[in-house]
Amino acid sequence: MTVIAIGTAADGAPAGPGFGYTVDTLAAWLAGGQAPGAFATGVAIVVAWVVPMLVLVFPLAALGQIAERKIAAAIQRREGPNSAGLDGPLRLLCRAVLFFLPRPRQDRVFERLSALPVVRTVLATARRIGLGQLLADGVKMLGKEDIVPADADGVVFRMAPYLAMVGAFLPFCVVPFGHHLVMLESPVGALFAIAASGITVLALKMAGWGSGSKWSLLGGMRAVAQLISYEIPVGLAVAGVVLWCGTMDLHAIVGQQYRDGALTLLGWNALQSPFLLLLACILFFAGLAECQRTPFDMAEAESELVSGFNTEYSGLRWGMFAMAEYTEMLLVSALVATLFFGGYQSPLGEQWIVALPVWLSVPIHAVLLLLKMLAGFGLMMWIRWTLPRFRVDQVMRLCWLSLVPLCLLALLGLAAQLLCAGGATLGVPYGRLPARLQPDLGMVGHLVGWAVPLLLGGVVVRAARRRHGQMHPALRQLTGGAP
């Protein structure tokens, strides 16, 4: 089990401002040999942070909103948006390019251009999958009247959407999209991600309080209660991974999940131990609550609170809240993928990708991580259009009486497993059994590590089911079982 030494400065990164390999190389390249000054560092930081955001995350969040309406339509057996294609932007492009022609001539050129077979098929497919729908929504929101309610707290009301966007985009700095495609290689990446996503709580409360309407106040209160209490399970789940991997640097965590051979899959943290698998589910579920997705969307529950904290928002401010929500969904999927499902590594055979030249392996890694993010994204949408919504007390009871105890149980199990089975940890000095006492059971330890918790879990579940009682015969008849 060889572990590729993914040091930060170890493999000869040039001396730079110390923000990490990418920024350092960029700054050094910009400075042209001598020590990069403040300007070069600043440009490097902006390019290293803004480009991944604009290229990778922002369009994905935008396409996500279209995908959401299409997936919802598919689940509900209807058509979904298919009338907004790319004809509007194409017409605008024609007008811009042929600015020197009078309008009717521009229209004729546009008709002839869109009559070309290739362009016609492209426009038709774009229209059928509703590619232009989000563009149309965005453009409409641009043109909407900008209303700040009379009894609203102006500053707080205007600041809330921007803070929501910050809370959603900032944690992406530490998410590694490739070997060295990470904006901020910080040794405490995991902790930074959780802390940065805490800003959204502030933004929602500001929106709730700032709008000055009872409905949004209620939405804001619920949002605060839910998000703060679900920070605990998220934190504990990340703590479990840190305990297992021994480091908080996301880049190193991904590195540890590397295995030679065809099935790099086996190296993933989620498959190392049942407790880690449990923590992965808890992190995903608590992540759902972080971005207020059904079944946890009481903060903006349409049917009760009219529209929760964004009742008074209209136009682009409301659009920003929607964009922040979808980006947060991507963030949760990215964190789950990075911590538990091998980050940017491919499930089948990672070594041939690493062998590729840098300008090819990095994009492939980025695409792999994006695919894992899309998988999490699709699962969240599927859940949204299937499940009803929890009530406030049920959300709190679920968090404090079941998720947090489960997390603590999982941490306990992980610690026990580490002590006796000597899990695959990178040499972290603290709290290890002395080497001679460490039995290297290998595969047997692995299997026992899986068998014992699953047996215990089965017993507990069977007892709970017996206590809960059978489904009523009338219900069984309704769902097609024997009456």
Please report, as residue ranges, which positions from 150 to 209 form the binding site for other proteins (by CB under 8 A): none
Residue type, 273: S
Q: Which of 435, 455, 464, 474 binds other proteins (CB under 8 A)?
A: 474
How many residues form the binding site for other proteins (CB under 8 A)? Answer: 78
The count of other CB atoms within 10 Å of the CB of residue 424 is 18
Rounded-to-integer distance, Cα 59 and Cα 19, Å: 26
Cα–Cα distance measured from residue 390 to residue 254, given in angstroms and rounded to the nearest whole number = 34
If binding is defined by CB under 8 A, does position 65 make contact with other proteins? no
CA angle 188, 193, 197 (to 5 degrees): 150
Q: What does the alpha-carbon distance between residue 46 and residue 344 come to, in Å, rounded to a whole number?
A: 23
Using CB under 8 A as the binding rule, the residues of this chain from 209 to 228 that contact other proteins are 214-215, 217-218, 221
Instruction: Give the one residue of 175, 183, 252, 298 binding other proteins; rule: CB under 8 A.
Output: 298
- Interface characters, 304-323, with other proteins (x: CB under 8 A): xxxx--xxxxxx--x-----
Which of these, 182, 181, 283, lies nearest to 232 by C-alpha position? 283
Residues 423 and 236: their CA atoms lie apart, in Å, by 19
Contact between 142 and other proteins per CB under 8 A: yes
Query: Looking at 70-78, 158-166, 182-190, 336-344, which segment touches other proteins (CB under 8 A)?
Result: 70-78
* Minimum gap (Å) between residue 376 Cβ and other proteins: 21
Tell me the C-alpha distance between 317 and 311, whole Å: 11
Burial 332-366 (b: 16+ CB within 10 A, else e): bbbbbbbbbbbbbbbbebbeebeeeeeeebbeebb
In whole angstroms, what is the distance from residue 175 CA to residue 52 CA?
Answer: 11
Residue numbers 21-40 binding other proteins by CB under 8 A: none
Does 92 bind other proteins (CB under 8 A)? Our answer is yes
Closest separation in Å from C-beta 190 to other proteins: 30
Write the DSSP symbol of residue 434.
P
401 near other proteins (CB under 8 A): no
Q: Do 326 and 61 meet the contact criterion of CB atoms below 8 Å apart?
A: yes
Among 22, 41, 186, 294, interactor with other proteins by CB under 8 A = 294
Q: Report the residue from 16, 52, 132, 449 that binds other proteins according to the rule CB under 8 A.
A: 132
CB atoms within 10 A of CB 433: 12
Q: Does 105 bind other proteins (CB under 8 A)?
A: no
Number of residues written out for the chain: 483
| Residue 61 Cβ vs other proteins, minimum distance, rounded to whole Å | 17
Given 389, 409, 432, 448, the residue binding other proteins (CB under 8 A): 389
Select the span of 191-199, 279-287, 367-375, 472-480 touching other proteins (CB under 8 A): 472-480
Q: Which of 386, 439, 451, 465 binds other proteins (CB under 8 A)?
A: 386
x-marked contacts with other proteins along 245-284 as a string, rule CB under 8 A: ----------------------------------------
Told to check if 429 binds other proteins by CB under 8 A, we report: no
Do you find a cis peptide bond into 295, omega within 30 degrees of 0? Answer: yes
Of 447-466, which residues contact other proteins (CB under 8 A)? none
- Rank residues 128 and 432 by Cβ distance to other proteins and give the closer one: 128
Asked whether the beta carbons of 449 and 273 are under 8 A apart, the reply is yes
For the bound state, the minimum distance from the C-beta of residue 221 to other proteins, rounded and expressed in Å, comes to 6
DSSP-derived 3-state class of residue 263? strand
Q: Minimum distance from CB of 396 to other proteins (Å)?
A: 11
Instruction: Tell whether residue 303 is a contact of other proteins (CB under 8 A).
Output: yes
In contact, 361 and 354? CB cutoff 8 Å: yes
Q: How far is the CB of 81 from other proteins (least distance, A)?
A: 5
Choose, by CB under 8 A, the member of 11, 111, 260, 302 that binds other proteins. Answer: 302
- Residue 184 Cα distances to 20, 170, 181, 255, 347, angstroms: 6, 11, 9, 16, 25
For the CB of residue 111, give the shortest distance to other proteins in the complex, in Å.
14
Q: Are 244 and 423 in contact (CB under 8 A)?
A: yes
